[in-house]
Structure 1
Amino acid sequence: MSVSRHSDVPVYRQIVSQVTLMIEMGLLRDGERLPGSRLLADNLGINRNTVAHAYGELRALGLIEPRGRNGMVVVGGGQARSTSAARNRAREILSAAARECLDLGLSAGEIRDLIAGLAAWEAERTIAVSFVECNEERARYFASELGTRLGASVKPLVLGAFDAEAERPDLVLTTFFHLAEVRTLMRRPETEVVAIVAAPHLQTLVQIAQVPKGRTVGLLYSTEDQAVSIRDSLTQAGVTNIEVLTGTTDEDLRDVDLVVVPSEMPDLAARLAGRVRVIEFGNVLDAASVRMAGEVMRDLQLAKTHARDRG
């Protein structure tokens, strides 16, 4: 490992990038111990606090964790390698570009600094977008869907599980159920908070409507907050015979004709197989809401570009 003090990329970030790459490539495996911050700092000729900062970032990414006297140990190798497809593609692109730059006569240091400078310049133009929900599965699901529809990377955030001061996105998307709470959390003028509509799929409503009015449609979710939000959504759609289930015993399922479970958690459906009719709650993103979010992104992008040009 080596670092450059002359690069536009902070030294701690260089350490994070290199360790992450080594983990993704399998050069560092789960259970392997990283050098202590003092040892690595002495080896690189940098301040120990810089290494500590880098290790803190790697820990926040879930790639390492402290193990008492063993120090920092790699723990996120499998996850890093399974989610590194985009980084692998980026390495292919950069490798091809680096070879062309070498053919032009640039040195490795010049190429590194050029890439770092371009990355920093592009980062200033990029709009950071997050999606906030009360449940991790739904946050990841909708962030992925929005990312595909908007053509941008959308970071999933779970209410109560992130530091609002540390997160500084340009645009935060959430549902109307959480709009007020998210706006309270993201109280800064440079962050735009926009609500989108996540409506029940028509097929879901058709199946629920077939349940007789005197019988019950049960909702089984991993958290009560999520179940309540779905219940409210269905109530707005005209479905009133809804009950939030707190268990799966025979008593819990009495008078229940249909149980609705989240599509992103098939294990819940498996718990009820053969005992009651189960359907997955299909969500669709409202097209108008997505278009509005896209327009807000473009406006923020334009404002950011103008601000950079004036600077």
Structure 2
Amino acid sequence: MTATTSSSSVNGRTRTVADKIQVSVHSDMPVYRQIVNQLSFMVETGDLRPGQVLPGARLLAEDLRINRNTVARAYAELGEIGLVEGRGRTGTFVVGPGLASADSRVRERARRILESCIRECVALGLSAVEVQSLVLSIAVRAESDLLKVSFVESDAGRAQRFAAELEVLVGVKVNPLVLGRFEPEEERANLVLTTFPLLAEARALMRRPETEVVAVVVALHVPTLVRIASVAEARVVGVWCGTHEQGVTVRDSLRDVGVENVQVLDGLEDADLEGIDIVVVPEESTELTALLDQKAEVIQFGYVLDAASTRMVGEVVRDMQANKRNGTSQVD
């Protein structure tokens, strides 16, 4: 498979997907987002049709002279919104707007608005490439006027869940990010949210001076705390999380409700579990739960966002939006 798998002919010359995509590393919009937006537009307008195969991430990255992970991330997001589908070694196939996510009606309305404007531009004598460049430039400037917020977590499920909850609570789009699965230098968020155990790591990654990094408090579900407290008397509880810091947070929450015999587990080998009666693990650890079930009683826990933290985030968002309107970038 080559980068010419999805192509069209213009003036006798075959144009590849790479020919149709324009990216700029100097833009405020991350490169992966530029690719997502342009490929989405091609699918919505029928320039890329259902069943067509996109060029491999490595080949497209070489054509665009960018990092392969950047293209892979763009393809992953296109898959999440239902525009493409990865089929292993066979490649990444265009699914089409008909199976896209719930915002397809909004996208269709935007397509109609753009189509009317673009036809006028073409009638004025602009070429398709000139119109594409102009639309991208205007879109980048328009998006730069919006407050961009991301939420960083070590687990993809929690990142998506907390980002979705915060979107509703603070009224802005929140982009979920997973540690180790994004390029920090390409993230142009104005505000990065994370949990306290990951605050130092998130700040080390997000080194742009105009990016604010703020931690929110998350707590265990109350029913989980009650259940553990009810069975933990005279028993030893071991807590295992993705990071030691998160384990300490869970341990402290349990101690706050009177569970004294709590240890943070740094491993799950037999030696680590010696003397442990109950193992507390995150709710997304389904396979781990099945593995441990034969060694100790297992209780899964979930996190919830602290109400005071979400109110604080709302205040930060409002301050930053006001600063953007006033032409400044820092929170007082």
TM-score (norm 2): 0.64
What is the SS of the residue equivalent to 1:155? strand
User: How far does the alpha carbon of each residue in 1:150-182 deviate from its partner, in whole angstroms, 9 at most, with x for none?
Assistant: 233222334455443332310011222233343
In 2, Cα distance between equivalents of 1:284 and 1:54? 36
Match of 1:215 among 222, 235, 243: 235
Distance 1:254 1:80, change over 3 A: farther
Q: Tell me which amino acid in the other structure corresponds to 1:201.
A: H
Q: Tell me: higher relative CO, structure 1 or 2? Use CA pairs within 8 A at least 6 residues apart.
A: 1
What is the SS of the residue equivalent to 1:210? helix
Q: Tell me which amino acid in the other structure corresponds to 1:176.
A: F
What is the SS of the residue equivalent to 1:260? strand
Does the 8 A contact of 2:237 with 2:262 survive in 1? Answer: yes
In 2, Cα distance between equivalents of 1:265 and 1:79? 31
Q: Aligned pair 1:157/2:150, yes or no?
A: no
Match of 2:268 among 235, 243, 247: 247
Distance 1:16 1:171, change over 3 A: closer
In 2, Cα distance between equivalents of 1:83 and 1:273? 40
Q: Tell me which amino acid in the other structure corresponds to 2:107.
A: R
Q: Aligned pair 1:270/2:287, yes or no?
A: no
Match of 2:165 among 128, 142, 145: 145
Match of 1:125 among 139, 142, 145: 145
5 Å matches for 1:60-209? 60-62=73-75, 75-77=91-93, 84-85=100-101, 88-98=104-114, 101=116, 106=120, 116=136, 119-209=139-229
Match of 2:72 among 59, 66, 75: 59
Alpha-carbon distance, 1:125 to partner? 1.9
User: How far does the alpha carbon of each residue in 1:49-107 deviate from its partner, in whole angstroms, 9 at most, with x for none?
Assistant: 8733497742343559xxxxxxxx884559999995156344322234346x37x9835
In 2, Cα distance between equivalents of 1:272 and 1:180? 31
Q: Aligned pair 1:11/2:35, yes or no?
A: no
What is the SS of the residue equivalent to 1:279? strand
User: How far does the alpha carbon of each residue in 1:225-249 deviate from its partner, in whole angstroms, 9 at most, with x for none?
Assistant: 5434433443455533223443375
Partner of 1:28: 52
What is the SS of the residue equivalent to 1:11? coil
Q: Tell me which amino acid in the other structure corresponds to 2:280.
A: V
In 2, Cα distance between equivalents of 1:216 and 1:81? 54
In 1, Cα distance between equivalents of 2:108 and 2:229? 51
Does the 8 A contact of 1:16 with 1:55 survive in 2? Answer: no
Does the 8 A contact of 1:134 with 1:226 survive in 2? Answer: no
Unaligned runs of 5+ in 1: 4-8, 38-47, 65-72
Q: Tell me which amino acid in the other structure corresponds to 2:120.
A: L
Distance 1:53 1:177, change over 3 A: closer
User: How far does the alpha carbon of each residue in 1:281-309 deviate from its partner, in whole angstroms, 9 at most, with x for none?
Assistant: 1221111211211121122112112229x
Alpha-carbon distance, 1:196 to partner? 0.9
Does the 8 A contact of 1:16 with 1:57 survive in 2? Answer: no
Q: Aligned pair 1:230/2:250, yes or no?
A: yes
Partner of 2:4: none
Does the 8 A contact of 2:197 with 2:246 survive in 1? Answer: no
Does the 8 A contact of 2:149 with 2:189 survive in 1? Answer: yes
In 2, Cα distance between equivalents of 1:304 and 1:287? 26
What is the SS of the residue equivalent to 2:160? helix
Aligned pairs, how many? 281
TM-score (norm 1): 0.68
Partner of 1:260: 280
